[in-house]
Amino acid sequence: MAKSYDLLIIGAGPGGYTAAIRAAKEGLKTGVIEKEKLGGTCLNRGCISTKALLHASSMFSMMQKCDEFGVSADSIAFDFKKMQQYKKNAVRDYRNEIHGTFEKLGIDLIYGTATIRRGKTVEVKSDKGKDFYQAKHIIIATGAVPRPLSIPGADLDGVWYSDRILKEDKWKFDRLTIIGGGVIGVEMATIFNALCAKVYLVERAPHLLGPMDQEVSEALKEELTRRGIRVYCGANIHKITKEEGLICHISKDGEEILLRSGCVLVAVGRQPYTDGLFGEDVNFQMKDGKLEVDSEFMTSEPEVYAVGDVTADIQLAHVAAAQATYVVEKIAKKVHTIRLSVVPNGMYAKLPVVPNCIYTEPEIATVGLTEEAALACGMKVRCGKYSMGENGRSIISREEGGFIRLIFEAYSNNLVGAQIVCPRATDMISEMATAVAAGLNAGQLMMAMRAHPTYSEGIAGAIEDAMRS
């Protein structure tokens, strides 16, 4: 007889493992099916792995400038194999933490490939054969895979996606061409530039980072260029050929340009992954390549939910985790603790409260609306900007290029959006996300002191600037 669960989760990434941990804490008998490794893309070949490499490469880059701070180090060098080993250790340690939590909470981790059958039965194929499981509720959290680039030469050896590049422990990156100036593209450009590679970054759209506030994306382009990265925005790639390395044939403003490098990274987006997931006896609706869900994350099959990249417009680990928590709270009949957007008192516009963090140098973090988006929904706004060049902590660290930009609704002075470009921006954005979610106004944001010297002092500067306008 099939083993049965209150909740079966397919996929053990941040959506899947967050759902499992919360469900087990609510007393639900929970199983998680995973075909590869616990942790999914985020842990094994995404956020955690990339940030570990960013940490190591930025350390190397800082050491090269250490003389300015009165520190000397002779013959600074890096060992890429060791760097990759450090990254593997960080990934392993994180995975062990999650594994330990699963064991403590009695969550079953089932390795194999899942196919959903009629009546909430799940078939799992592995080297040991075929097993069947039964569940009252199912959550699909199967994530996404890199979107392929459909041009001649895209299948040549050395044209890689981010997961392949993250696995490579031999240094093959004296010259690297990156196709796609989105989040993966700019973070990878930062890593390899810090390791002294010659990096070319090719973006089809007129600006880096797509929907990001234009001032932010221009500031990033300027900084990447200042660091020696060749950025080609508004450029089209036509083909890749191989002759003494890989040659990307691109065109920009009517000019044909050839970029030669040892390796090409393709980072042109990610697409939902549902291969083999649906049996012939079930009927799941898809829309624009994504698994369709209602406002409660339920698919077209009753009591089968989907969270994270397989369904989301916003492909972020913390969004997957938040959606997973929401669904488990619904199944366990608990009050919801999670919101992805809010409409604070006295406001009419929906404010997204999802922080968006990009780990470049300097870091970029945003939440809520940009000025442009606020104006587009008919909102009157006051905007304030603070240049980090005046900030004590930035002067100390010699990283003075960033800024903080805050957007307030003009009548209530409620914070509706923030864009931060400076070191530690990814940590600082939490204060802004809390303020947007809680509908705090400028006066309330000024009530608490910000310690001196911190990058956060710049927030007060941006509030004062907005209130003067």
Binding mask 148-177 for ligand NAI (x = CB under 6 A): -x----------------------------
Size of site (CB under 6 A) for ligand NAI: 24
Q: Is 237 in the site for ligand NAI (CB under 6 A)?
A: yes
Q: Is 202 in the site for ligand NAI (CB under 6 A)?
A: yes
Closer CB to ligand NAI, residue 115 or residue 315? 315
Q: Number of C-alpha atoms within 13 angstroms, CB side, residue 142?
A: 24
Choose among 453, 412, 450, 410: nearest CA to 432. 450
Q: Is 268 in the site for ligand NAI (CB under 6 A)?
A: yes
Q: Which residue has the tokens 């922080």?
A: 355
From 55, 249, 336, 452, active-site residue: 452
**Which one of residues 269, 278, 292, 467 is an interface residue with ligand NAI (CB under 6 A)?**
269
CB of 365 to ligand NAI, least distance (A): 9
Closer CB to ligand NAI, residue 23 or residue 201? 201
Q: Is 52 in the site for ligand NAI (CB under 6 A)?
A: no
Look up residue 67 and give its two tokens: 């003389």
Q: Is 392 in the site for ligand NAI (CB under 6 A)?
A: no
**Which one of residues 217, 315, 323, 325 is an interface residue with ligand NAI (CB under 6 A)?**
315
Helices (H) and strands (E) in the chain, counts: 13, 26
| Integer Cα distance of 95 and 39 in angstroms | 6
**Which one of residues 109, 145, 154, 205 is an interface residue with ligand NAI (CB under 6 A)?**
205
| Integer Cα distance of 78 and 84 in angstroms | 11
Long-range contacts: 144-148, Cβ < 8 Å, 24+? 144/41, 144/270, 144/271, 144/272, 144/273, 144/309, 144/310, 144/315, 145/270, 145/271, 145/273, 146/266, 146/267, 146/268, 146/269, 146/270, 146/271, 147/268, 147/269, 147/270, 147/271, 148/266
Q: Is 316 in the site for ligand NAI (CB under 6 A)?
A: yes
With 0-12 / 13-18 / 19 or more C-beta atoms within 10 angstroms meaning exposed / middle / buried, residue 290 is: middle
CB of 114 to ligand NAI, least distance (A): 23
**Which one of residues 24, 357, 416, 435 is an interface residue with ligand NAI (CB under 6 A)?**
357
Q: Is 210 in the site for ligand NAI (CB under 6 A)?
A: yes
With 0-12 / 13-18 / 19 or more C-beta atoms within 10 angstroms meaning exposed / middle / buried, residue 468 is: exposed
What DSSP character marks residue 76? -
- 55 catalytic? Reply is no
Q: Is 308 in the site for ligand NAI (CB under 6 A)?
A: no
Q: Is 327 in the site for ligand NAI (CB under 6 A)?
A: no
Positions annotated as catalytic residues are 452
Q: Give the footprint of ligand NAI on this chain (CB under 6 A).
A: 149, 179-185, 187, 202-205, 210, 237, 267-270, 315-316, 357-359
